[in-house]
Structure 1
Amino acid sequence: MGVTSPLKGQTHSRSFTTKFLPYVIYALFPIALFRFYFHPFPSPPTDQLPHSNRIVLTSSSSSSSFSIEEGTSNEVPCNYTNGRWVRDKMGPLYNGTTCGTIKDGQNCISHGRPDLGYLYWRWQPSQCELPRFDPKTFFNLLSNKHIAFVGDSMARNQLESLLCMLASVSNPNLVYANGEDNKFRRWHFDSHNVTVSVYWSPFLVRGVEKSKTGPDHNELHVDVIDERWGSDLDHLDMIVLSIGHWFLHPAVYYEGGSVLGCHYCPGLNLTEIGFYDVMRKAIKTTLKTIIGRKAGSGSGIDVFLTSFSPSHFEGEWDKAGACPKTEPDREGEKMVEGMDADMRSIAVEEIEAAKVNAKQFGGLRVETLDVTKLSLMRPDGHPGPYMYPFPFANGIQEHVQNDCVHWCLPGPIDTWNQIMLQVIKRWRR
């Protein structure tokens, strides 16, 4: 008899495995390829992050107005304000010769600016992607809507940027023009029944601008909006507000029919109160009036407030100050500080306060379009001496006036509308 070893028969088993296992693997490999080809592993959409992330906007005086927030308890910040300018071979959607709506002083290409490198940069946020502006997406989201840009010349600058990008796929028809320098205009895109308007209102509230024939200072009533645009509120679906630079000029302020004070008004025997609090009052009055009137009418509205856009004069603006740089600043090279930071903070804080008020009513959305830092980093994007056609055609002049406030079109200001489109897309979702 004998004892049966537990290892008996293992030699045969090993031989069988060694001999036939490779053939099994070879047979399964094409089957696996066939399965993967016709039934690949699902991947999340490219415009979404894992775990049902959604784009939301938050604001504070020390952080950006834009972030991506997780649908779960984890938060992944996506900050459009912080980032850097990177080279972009694609360039802009339009140029100075194909868009007929650019104000002459910002048409740097047609005025002979020789360095075109400023056109080939794009804004890369630190922790998210900013997609290229898609005019068709804008039209689809805003079809049958009326969008108004209200404010000073920066509002007009941003408006013309948007018009030029939209004109790359659809023709804008000018249907209304009025006022000196066509400060009140309206266009209509028949393809999607989209109306775009601009209203000149450098203070948003009622005001009288200084003139050669009148007082040498502005007059503002900080508790009453400018009805040149306010009277059309019932017909507007979206408003983009933009103010700032005009508050630096001498002015006398009124509230409740009485003099509140003044800014830089020697000889008028009035109390100097600066302009920060007045600008805050003007924004507060504007937002409160918009929300109140639209809520009272039962119709919604979307409101953007574009934050302060810094100038880049090297020297005094009225003493041949210029902006000669030809490339963006690097991340960390300049900080948002001083007046630029204070002006930005006022916009952000007042929008946050308005959000609380707007929550009481349906269909009212307000947001800061925070462009201060990304604009600060583009000293190369202004017309400079090319606010005039071919300023050096007759040689180098001793004094050439420069525009270091407004932006070349196309140019960095196109990015403002890129960000605005992303916010609109988030709202619609």
Structure 2
Amino acid sequence: MTTLQHRRIHLLFRLAVAAVLTLGAARVILDNLRNNYSILEWTISRRYSIRVPIEVSVDEEIEEGCDVFQGRWIWENATYPLYTEQSCPFLVKQTTCTRNGRLDSFYQNWRWQPHACDLPRFDGLKLMEMLRDKRLMFVGDSVQRSMFESMICLVDSALPRVVRRSLQRIPPRKVFRVEEFNASIEYYWAPFLVESISDHATNHTVMKRSVKLDSVAKHSKEWEGAHVLIFESYIWWMYKPTINATYGSLDDVQEYNVTTAYRSAMETWANWVDSRVNRETQKIFFATMSPTHLWSWEWKHGTEGNCFNETHPIEGPYWGTGSNLDIMGIVEDVLGRVKVNVTVLNITQLSEYRKDGHASIFGERKGKLLTKEQRSDPKNFADCIHWCLPGVPDTWNEILYALLLQDYRDQSII
């Protein structure tokens, strides 16, 4: 072996040793960085496990006498929407209209502006602090489920990534937990509030509906442990002018006028509220009906369409046939006689203006997206009941948040 070969071997050996040492040093550095990052993650996570008093600024207060449900929709594309379809992993296909093919996104950029005051900007961290060690539960049908999904998207978008959150499906409930706050936001399927043959979480579409007007016992076992409850029940009652129901004996099935049955069901629910709700630890809301937009002639005379292809809200006074005045009157009457304080979320009028916000042909029917043929027939297949997300239900939650913040400031239950 020549001297030159010896030198080359020696040089390669030195390079190999240097490479091993470099890789080793790099691994040590990376391990230290990983450990330091884990410590940083733990430190940040730990920070949110400690109760922190919430400061409510003057700008966040609702001025006395302001009716937050009276106002107008204002176009704002700078700060709205508050989250996106892409950023929220919890949305179902029924609400992801853009992902399902809707080309315009105007419906995402309208902000509700009350006439006499401003709504505070939604702050998910403040809400979670208010809900620390508590359960907030939405109760109702699929429209109410959209409000639940909207709320968890609003919260999720505000939480740092290191804060642990999860979504569990525990039929008939969905539970969104945030570990550091020991809090949950939940949804409970009960389309009639009282018991019915449509109470199964997934297999509930029955043509001949029947309700048990005198009982909420099966449902209320879940409700009683929640600290904030938001109830809603409307569209499932509107399938036909009459409904089969029992009151007392399960063998005595009678056909009731829907408004008569609705009043009886509401009174049963109200009796539960008065007898079982703990005024010291629970806060009750009731959301009024979510309107439908099935007939375009109601807002544009001479047309024969529906909510399909609508891109802007209705301006000026409007009340369509999608909102039943008799039902609205029953809600007002029954809640007016409840002894426990129930806060009304009067979402109906502000939602009446939003003919543009529905899923239309960009949602689901019976668990499946519409086919190309069905989408070409919006007159028969457009969904003018459910809402796209982000969209109108976000505003319902902004108002709910504002009212909870007001309660917190006033040192009420929340």
**Do Structure 1 and Structure 2 share a fold, with TM-score over 0.5?**
yes
* C-alpha RMSD of matched pairs (Å): 3.1
Match of 1:303 in 2: 284
Q: What's the offset of the Cα at 1:242?
A: 1.0
Letter in 1 for 2:231: L
Match of 2:277 in 1: 294
In structure 1, the gaps of 5 or more residues are: 1-43, 49-54, 56-67, 70-76, 263-272, 359-364
User: Which whole-Å CA distance do the structure 1 matches of 2:313 and 2:373 have between them?
Assistant: 29
Q: What's the offset of the Cα at 1:290?
A: 3.0
Q: Secondary structure at the match of 1:404?
A: strand
Letter in 2 for 1:418: E
**Do structure 1's residue 239 and structure 2's residue 229 form an aligned pair?**
yes
**Do structure 1's residue 85 and structure 2's residue 68 form an aligned pair?**
no
Q: Deviations over 1:45-76 (max 9, x none)?
A: 4445xxxxxx6xxxxxxxxxxxx54xxxxxxx
Larger Rg, first or second structure (1 or 2)? 1
How many corresponding residue pairs? 334
The answer to whether the Cα contact below 8 Å between 1:320 and 1:401 also exists between their aligned partners in 2 is no
Q: Deviations over 1:250-300 (max 9, x none)?
A: 5211112264742xxxxxxxxxx42112212212211321331234xx853
The answer to whether the Cα contact below 8 Å between 1:329 and 1:378 also exists between their aligned partners in 2 is yes
Q: What's the offset of the Cα at 1:391?
A: 6.3
User: Which whole-Å CA distance do the structure 2 matches of 1:299 and 1:282 have between them?
Assistant: 26
Letter in 1 for 2:232: S
Q: Secondary structure at the match of 1:350?
A: helix
Match of 1:326 in 2: 311
The answer to whether the Cα contact below 8 Å between 2:190 and 2:199 also exists between their aligned partners in 1 is no
The TM-score with structure 1 as length reference comes to 0.70
Residues 106 and 46 of structure 1: CA distance in aligned 2, closer, same or farther (over 3 Å)? closer
**Do structure 1's residue 204 and structure 2's residue 193 form an aligned pair?**
yes
User: Which whole-Å CA distance do the structure 2 matches of 1:81 and 1:189 have between them?
Assistant: 30
The answer to whether the Cα contact below 8 Å between 2:166 and 2:177 also exists between their aligned partners in 1 is yes
Residues 174 and 396 of structure 1: CA distance in aligned 2, closer, same or farther (over 3 Å)? closer
Q: What's the offset of the Cα at 1:248?
A: 1.5
**Do structure 1's residue 224 and structure 2's residue 207 form an aligned pair?**
no
Residues 302 and 213 of structure 1: CA distance in aligned 2, closer, same or farther (over 3 Å)? closer
Letter in 2 for 1:367: T
The answer to whether the Cα contact below 8 Å between 2:123 and 2:158 also exists between their aligned partners in 1 is no
Q: Deviations over 1:288-324 (max 9, x none)?
A: 21331234xx8531111110011012379xx995532
The answer to whether the Cα contact below 8 Å between 2:59 and 2:120 also exists between their aligned partners in 1 is no
**Do structure 1's residue 346 and structure 2's residue 330 form an aligned pair?**
yes
Which shows bigger deviation, 131-140 or 384-393?
A: 384-393
User: Which whole-Å CA distance do the structure 2 matches of 1:86 and 1:197 have between them?
Assistant: 30
Structural mapping, 1:30-429, within 5 Å:
45-47=58-60, 69=64, 77-89=65-77, 90-170=79-159, 173-174=165-166, 176-179=168-171, 183-209=172-198, 216-227=207-218, 229-250=219-240, 251-257=243-249, 259=252, 261-262=254-255, 273-295=256-278, 300-314=281-295, 322-332=307-317, 334-335=318-319, 339-354=323-338, 357-358=339-340, 365-387=341-363, 397-398=376-377, 401-428=381-408, 429=410
Q: Deviations over 1:83-109 (max 9, x none)?
A: 111111211111111111112111112
Q: Secondary structure at the match of 2:286?
A: strand
Which shows bigger deviation, 196-205 or 281-290?
A: 281-290
Letter in 1 for 2:376: Q
Q: What's the offset of the Cα at 1:421?
A: 1.0
The answer to whether the Cα contact below 8 Å between 1:83 and 1:331 also exists between their aligned partners in 2 is no
Residues 344 and 324 of structure 1: CA distance in aligned 2, closer, same or farther (over 3 Å)? farther
Residues 88 and 305 of structure 1: CA distance in aligned 2, closer, same or farther (over 3 Å)? same
Q: What's the offset of the Cα at 1:234?
A: 3.7
User: Which whole-Å CA distance do the structure 2 matches of 1:231 and 1:158 have between them?
Assistant: 22
Letter in 2 for 1:243: S
The answer to whether the Cα contact below 8 Å between 2:307 and 2:355 also exists between their aligned partners in 1 is no
* More helix per residue: 2
User: Which whole-Å CA distance do the structure 1 matches of 2:129 and 2:205 have between them?
Assistant: 47
The TM-score with structure 2 as length reference comes to 0.73
Identity of matched residues, %:
25
Q: Secondary structure at the match of 2:385?
A: coil
Residues 260 and 115 of structure 1: CA distance in aligned 2, closer, same or farther (over 3 Å)? same
Letter in 2 for 1:87: W
Residues 107 and 137 of structure 1: CA distance in aligned 2, closer, same or farther (over 3 Å)? same
User: Which whole-Å CA distance do the structure 1 matches of 2:96 and 2:84 have between them?
Assistant: 9
Residues 256 and 248 of structure 1: CA distance in aligned 2, closer, same or farther (over 3 Å)? same
The answer to whether the Cα contact below 8 Å between 2:230 and 2:286 also exists between their aligned partners in 1 is yes
User: Which whole-Å CA distance do the structure 2 matches of 1:412 and 1:213 have between them?
Assistant: 25
Which shows bigger deviation, 252-261 or 77-86?
A: 252-261
Residues 139 and 215 of structure 1: CA distance in aligned 2, closer, same or farther (over 3 Å)? closer
Residues 193 and 302 of structure 1: CA distance in aligned 2, closer, same or farther (over 3 Å)? same
Residues 138 and 396 of structure 1: CA distance in aligned 2, closer, same or farther (over 3 Å)? closer
Q: What's the offset of the Cα at 1:116?
A: 0.9
